[in-house]
Amino acid sequence: MTGYGKATGDLPGKRVMVEVKTINSRQNDLNIKLPQVLREKESEIRNMLSQKLERGRIDLIVTYEIHNIQSLPVINKDAVKIYYQQVKALSEELGIKVSKNILTALLRFPDAMQVEKEELAEEDWTNVRYLIEEAVGKAIQYRIEEGKALEKDIVNSLTRILSALEEIRRFEPGRTEKIREKLTQLLETTIQADKIDRNRLEQEIIYYLEKFDINEEKVRLKQHCDYFLEKLNEKSSNGKMLGFISQEIGREINTIGSKANDADIQKIVVGMKDDLEKIKEQLLNVL
């Protein structure tokens, strides 16, 4: 969702600069700053930004650089004179000397400066709209370039998770034998060897092996990862969907770790969790 675009152009007597900035946000959060003459078009501008940029914290700033001196505010001399007379009379009444800086203060009084209300010509609005669209287009292109880098990082992290899933298979045969030996030794230290019911022992070992079996979790994890890549390759905005899938991936990784009962597999799971966290951080910036 991170993007930036800028466009400049000229109108009669002024130069227009349009800036568009976008950053992460769960919603479409618009913040628009416009010159007074463009306020009547704010609703139309908001609709334009919502349709083109979809989601994120979006800041649009349109500024005018005045070239024509006739467009600048002028001092309302009559109003300033009346203000001065009133201030002077009040100063004499209170016995306070009028400050040398009184003029600066008077110019801040209401209506001390006159600004001729500017009407927005249709041709000017067409030009400003074009500049806004140009700036938005540049912001979108910026997003696309950022998205390519994000996609590469996300795919690399997901590829490492899938590789780690394959690596787990190397430790599964030894893991099964370790569980069998551990249960047998535990039973033999508690009960005399000649009193152990070997048939019952075998049943219990099978029960625990089934309890610690992680095949279903591995299958679901692979399916979730494949689905994630499928959605990642779609052209439509699917950042929220990818977030949901990453949660499911996390559940399967956590279950594998809790059921592994093997130090080597748990080390692999830690690496998988690290890569998943990187994916989740990157997804915060995906539409």
State residue 92's pLDDT score. Answer: 85
From the number of C-beta atoms within 10 Å of its C-beta (0-12, 13-18, 19+), residue 150 rates as middle
Q: Provide the residue count of the chain.
A: 287
- How many whole angstroms separate alpha carbon 119 and alpha carbon 175? 80
Collect the ranges in the chain with pLDDT lower than 50. Answer: none
State residue 141's pLDDT score. Answer: 93
DSSP output for 82-105: HHHHHHHHHHHHHT-PPPTTHHHH
What angle (nearest 5°) sits at the alpha carbon of residue 147, between those of residues 143 and 153? 150
- How many whole angstroms separate alpha carbon 31 and alpha carbon 23? 12
DSSP output for 173-211: HHHHHHHHHHHHHHHHHHS-GGG--HHHHHHHHHHHHHH
225 C-beta neighbours (distance < 10 Å), count:
20
Instruction: List the domains of the chain with CATH numbers.
Output: 3-70+121-143 (3.30.230), 74-114 (no CATH), 146-283 (no CATH)
State residue 7's pLDDT score. Answer: 95
State residue 69's pLDDT score. Answer: 56
**pLDDT, tens digit, 9 for 90 and up, residues 95-141:** 888 887 888 888 888 878 766 666 778 888 999 999 999 999 999 99
